[in-house]
Amino acid sequence: MTNREIAVVIWSTLFLVWGIYLSRRNGIFKSLADVLKSFFGILKLPISQWILITNAIIVVIMFGCLRDKIELSYWYIKDYFLIFLFAIFPTVLLLKEYSIIEIVKDKWRDLFGLLSVFLFITNTYTFSLYLELVLVFLLVILSLFSAIAEVKEEFTLIGKIFRFLLSALGLILLFGALNSFIRHIGDVGTLNFWLSYGLELLIFVINIPILYIVEKMVVIEKMVVHSDYQNTLLTFVRYYFHYYVRKIKFRKRLSKNTPLKVQVEKYIFGYPKITIYVEGENLKEEDVLSLIAEMIINGHKITRPSRKIDKFPVYIEIVDKNNETLALCTEDFLSRNSRFYNPFMNKKTKEIYPSVLMLAKRKENI
C-alpha cells in the first residue's frame, strides 16, 4: 500500500466521519442511510451477484494456487477490489451499447498508452506520508474549486488560477515520481513491478467470460423482471433455455429465405415490435408460421438492429395490404399483466401455435 493510498484512506475516513456528524446534526442521516440501502439493493441484483460470486471465487483460487509458488502480497486483494469496483463494475453500464470485445480493445489501448505509463509511475512512486497528506488535501480542494468555477461564470478568472495550480501540482507529482522511479530502476526486473502494472488488464482478461455472460443478461433484464418468475440468476438461465428451445422448434418451420418488408418500432420496456407486411389477404397457417420463423431465426439479418435489445422482439405481427393484422406472435416469457398489445379486439382468433394467434376468418376463407 503506497503512502498516497494511505493518505487517501485517512482523509476519506475523516471526511466520512465529518459527513456523518453533519448529517445527524442536520437531520439528513436517514437520507444517507437510504442511499446506502439503495447501493446494497443493487448488489442484490442477479447481475451483481453473478459478478461478485465469480470474482470472489477467482480471488480465492488465484491466491490458493499461486501463494506457495510465487510471493504474492495480500495487498493485491485490495488492488483487485479497487479495480473491480472502479473498472469492472462500471463496464456493465457500457455493455448495454458496446460489446465486451470493443470495451477490451479500448482498455488495451488505454493501459498501454504513454499516459497510463506515467499514471502508473506517479501512483506507485510517492512521497513521504506527511507530504502525501498535504498533496492529497490540496488535490481535493483545488479539484473541487475548479469544478465550482466551471459552473459559476463569475468565478471564471479564479477558476483559471485553480486549474493552473492543479496542473502545477500534477507536474510536481509527476517529476517527483519519475525521480523516485529512476532511483529504483531495478524494480523493472521484478515480478511485482509488472504484476502491479498489468494487473488491471489481467483482471479484465480474466473477467471476459464473466462480462460476456453479463452482456447477455443486460439485454434481457427487463424481460426477466416483468416475467412471472422471481428475479434470480436461475430465471436468466430459464429465459435463455426457453429462447433457444423456441429457436430450435421454429427452425423446423422455415421454408425458404423470402424477402420481407418489415418495420421495427420501439415498444414495451424498450423491446421492439416487428411488423411483417404481406401482399396477400388469405394466408395458410403454415405460411404464417414460416414468416414468424424467418423473423425469429434470421430477424437480425433482416432488420440489422442498431440496438442489442432489438434482437429480442416482444411482438411479431403480420399485417396484410389493408393494414389489418392477420397474426400475432407474443413473447410468452412476459407475464400476462405485461402484455398490453392486442390488435384482435372483439375478433375471433385461433391459437395456431403456442403464443401465436391468427384471425379465425382467414382460415375459413382458404
- Residue 141 and residue 185 in one domain: yes
Domain containing 53 equals 3-223
Q: What are the strands, taking DSSP E only, across the chain? A: 261-266, 272-277, 315-319, 325-330, 349-353, 356-359
For residues 10 and 142, state if they share a domain: yes
User: pTM (2 decimals)?
Assistant: 0.78
In a shared domain, residues 153 and 69? yes
Q: Which of 162, 197, 223 is the last residue of a domain?
A: 223
Are 94 and 179 part of one and the same domain? Answer: yes
Q: 3-class DSSP state for residue 3?
A: helix
pLDDT value of residue 29: 58
Q: How many domains does the chain have?
A: 2
Q: For residue 340, tell me if it sits in a domain.
A: yes
Whether residue 272 lies inside any domain: the answer is yes
171, 191: one domain: yes
The CA distance from 116 to 114, in Å, is 5
Please name the residues in contact with 3: beta carbons below 8 A apart, sequence gap of 6 or more. 126, 127, 128, 129, 132
Contact 149, 156 (CB under 8 A): yes
Q: Are residues 219 and 287 both part of a single domain?
A: no
Query: Which of 223, 243, 261 delimits the end of a domain?
Result: 223
* Same-domain check for residues 315 and 210: no
Is residue 190 located within the same domain as residue 257?
no
| pLDDT digit string, tens, across residues 335-345 | 988 888 888 88
228 in a structural domain: no
In a domain? residue 164: yes
Tell me what pLDDT residue 246 has.
92
pLDDT at position 366: 37
My answer on whether 203 and 257 are in the same domain is no
Q: Are residues 186 and 305 in the same domain?
A: no
In a domain, 137, yes or no: yes
Which DSSP letter does residue 283 get? Answer: -
Asked whether residue 299 is domain-assigned, the answer is yes
Provide the sign of the torsion angle of the four alpha carbons 335, 338, 341, 346, taken in this order: positive
Residue corresponding to grid cell 498489468: 198
Mean pLDDT, the chain cut into blocks of 10 residues (366 residues total): 86 83 67 73 88 90 75 78 85 82 78 80 87 89 81 74 86 89 88 84 88 91 92 93 92 76 86 88 85 88 83 91 90 88 86 89 44
Got the DSSP string for 94-142? HTTTS-HHHHHHHHHHHHTSHHHHHHHHHHHS---HHHHHHHHHHHHHH
Kindly state whether residues 219 and 246 are assigned to the same domain. Answer: no
Angle at 92 (CA atoms; ends 136, 300), nearest 5 degrees: 150
Grid cell at residue 261: 418488408
Does residue 82 lie in a domain region? yes
pLDDT digits (tens, 9 = 90+) for 105-164: 787 777 777 788 888 888 888 888 889 899 888 888 888 888 877 777 677 778 788 888
3-state DSSP percent of the chain in helix, strand and coil, to 5? 70, 10, 20
pLDDT at site 364: 42
The residue among 223, 251, 270 that closes a domain is: 223
Residue 185 lies in a domain: yes
163 and 78 fall within a common domain? yes
Cα angle 319, 286, 346; round to 5: 45
pLDDT at position 229, please?
92
